[in-house]
Structure 1
């Protein structure tokens, strides 16, 4: 089982008990405003998403980790790697992403989990380049990307939803951690 420990977090594969807390995160309009069409997701949609994330682990050898707080065992959200099929113009690519519940914002958890995911991409999976994609107005995510050493490489439009997107990238062959 793939697991990464950071000073405050456990990044691990998904468990059955993660469904309800992740659905609560997905039900929050503030969390979801920058995701896809911006609408909250329900329990069934969250279950489908977790199933897809686990399938990607099986197919690609990487995926989105459940992010758990070490101190309390609470599910904070996810962080990890995925193939951004929704944006064909950047393929082939692996995207680093994260989504945390609002109570976990502003405490450095996204940066900590994303940093661990980059280390995983480089050291465990041998990837040489990773991208990250967000809406230009999502300053919190852009700040995490910049902390990781990522730089903007493309401004484009979401093919399904029509809103602007900014793609960041990092060359992991030069990554210093």
Structure 2
């Protein structure tokens, strides 16, 4: 698994020490506001196991993100295949940070490193991003990293009942 460094962050393989802060992050209703609510510790741990297996299989996935200067785990960023059942295919970028890490530009910084990996290392022609229509924070990151909203791709996520989590918006960035 490739490790990447930015000016302030290290994107690296997951470690056992990440499980507790990851679970705390996933138990935070604000962090999970646009994702369907908090996760149990068991589901949170299972997610990391799945991330590790997918990365080993494909050579890309979700990196753990830490602040290099302190070694503090603050979340994840990476690439994933667009979920089955979505009305299009491709590779999607994403990120999730603990609340104390919000507002410092970390998501943008990590996302730029992930985009570079996707285009330069994997040779992707384009990278997509998907979020709920109400997740304006993630949409702002998508704008900052140069992605363009693709309204023709917007869709309703039928895994959620009627409400704010169902409408999803799609952004795209083609290889420069």
Q: Under a length normalisation based on structure 1, what TM-score does the superposition of the two structures give?
A: 0.93
Mapped partners of 2:58, 2:87: distance in 1: 20
1:111 to 2:108 alignment: yes
Check the 8 A contact 2:87/2:155 in 1, yes or no.
Answer: no
Partner of 2:28: 28
Q: CA deviation at 1:88?
A: 2.7
Mapped partners of 2:93, 2:84: distance in 1: 14
**Secondary structure of 1:165's partner?**
strand
Q: CA deviation at 1:61?
A: 1.2
Mapped partners of 2:88, 2:98: distance in 1: 28
Q: 1:87 to 1:76 in 2, by over 3 A?
A: farther
Misfit runs of 4+, over 4 Å = none
Deviation digits for residues 49-93 of structure 1, max 9, x if unmatched? 0011111112221000000001111100000101121543121x1
Check the 8 A contact 1:86/1:159 in 2, yes or no.
Answer: no
1:170 to 2:167 alignment: no
1:82 to 2:85 alignment: no
Mapped partners of 1:75, 1:87: distance in 2: 32
**Any gaps of 5 or more consecutive residues in structure 1?**
none
Q: CA deviation at 1:39?
A: 1.2
Partner of 1:161: 160
**Secondary structure of 1:131's partner?**
strand
Matching of residues 1-177 of structure 1 within 5 Å: 1-35=1-35, 38-91=36-89, 93-153=90-150, 154-162=153-161, 163-172=166-175, 174=176
Check the 8 A contact 2:148/2:172 in 1, yes or no.
Answer: yes
Mapped partners of 2:71, 2:145: distance in 1: 26
Size of the aligned set, in residue pairs, is 170
Mapped partners of 1:18, 1:145: distance in 2: 26
**Any gaps of 5 or more consecutive residues in structure 2?**
none
Check the 8 A contact 1:87/1:159 in 2, yes or no.
Answer: no
Mapped partners of 2:167, 2:86: distance in 1: 15
